[in-house]
Amino acid sequence: MKRHRIGGFTAARVVEIEPPLATPAQMFPDFDPEIFRAHAGWLTERDAYDPVTDMLKLSIHSWVLRTKHHTIVIDTCCGNDRERPKFLIAHRLDTPYLDNLRAAGVDPDKVDFVCCTHLHVDHVGWNTRLENGRWVPTFRNARYLFSKADYDHWDAMNRADPAKPANYGAFDDGVLPVVSAGLATFVDGARHELEDDVTIEPAPGHTPGSVMLAARSEGAEALFIGDAMHHPLQIVLPDWSSRFCVDRAQAARTRRAILERCVENRSLLAPAHFKAPHACRVHRDGAAYRAEFVEMGEA
């Protein structure tokens, strides 16, 4: 498989599924058909939009970052064997995700950290796997990094109405078993250092406590931003936050700050849901931004 070098580090994408999720009008509350039409051509060429079905095309994948000291899995997709009747793209999945992970040279028992950029259903699924009728941690020797603000948000919702499990049930089967196993480390609103030049940093707006992982090595930087951006369209239209964002104005501010950092530092931008080529560098284009896409490889 291909791995992308970030100085002395490497990164690779491990795919779970690549579903159409929504039309542009469904995805973006600020959708304007005339503005979108101006971008539909390049989005179609990039396989990010299907003009026949009017559906945005996305990927649900993990990133695997290897440093000199650690193996880090960033976001863990939807997971197999889940009952998700109200989130059908994740309902009763049976994917070869773990095989894909091993094909990337990653033994789940040798993962050091699992970083969930936030605790939505499609970012915590493979935190656990079903074993003899119980949900057990998939990465049993890893520390799982959870946003404290996100955890508190979903925990309060779960407790408020136990008959309606929060986050489609993902909090119960993808988060709580990790906490019960004593493997969770909670990250607050401040910067959290995993090792020299690898940090967890706040990226609020999409959820109350969304974070991103920044990796720097030999003058190169990569930003693994989770859902600070869902779709390449948001590079050129950064004020268009998705309908999944709890604070759309804050999400837009976070997105612009990330784009500026990418321009200034020539950082590699690695979101959780871009289809091929999955990642990009960002350049200024007048008062706006444009993307230079980078193929990151796939197990």
Record the tokens describing residue 178, joined without a space. 């990790």
Interval 85-94: pLDDT, tens: 999 999 999 9
Residue 37, classified by CB atoms within 10 Å of its CB into exposed (0-12), middle (13-18) or buried (19+), is exposed
How far, in Å, CA of 30 to CA of 47, rounded?
22
Tokens matching residue 139: 């990465």
Look up residue 81 and give its two tokens: 């064997």
**Structure confidence at residue 296 as a pLDDT band (50, 70, 90):** low
Two tokens, residue 22: 């929504």
Segment 141-197, tens digit of pLDDT: 999 999 999 999 999 999 998 888 889 999 999 999 999 999 999 998 778 999 989
Nearest Cα to Cα of residue 155 among 138, 181, 175:
175
pLDDT in tens, 79-133: 999 999 999 999 999 999 999 999 889 999 999 999 999 999 999 999 999 999 9
Number of domains in the chain: 1
Distances (CA, A) of 52 to 42, 44, 77, 231, 234: 15, 10, 27, 18, 21
pLDDT classification of 78: cutoffs 50, 70, 90: very high
Which has more pLDDT, 50 or 165?
Answer: 50
The position carrying tokens 């940090």 is: 199
| Range with the poorest average pLDDT among 32-36, 51-55, 187-191, 242-246 | 187-191
Domain of 41: which CATH number?
A: 3.60.15.10
Q: Which domain holds residue 100?
A: 4-295
Angstrom CA distances, 106 to 60, 137, 185, stand at 18, 16, 22
pLDDT tens sequence across 27-47: 999 999 999 999 999 999 999
CA distance 203 to 190: 10
Give the whole-number percent of the chain exceeding pLDDT 90.
88
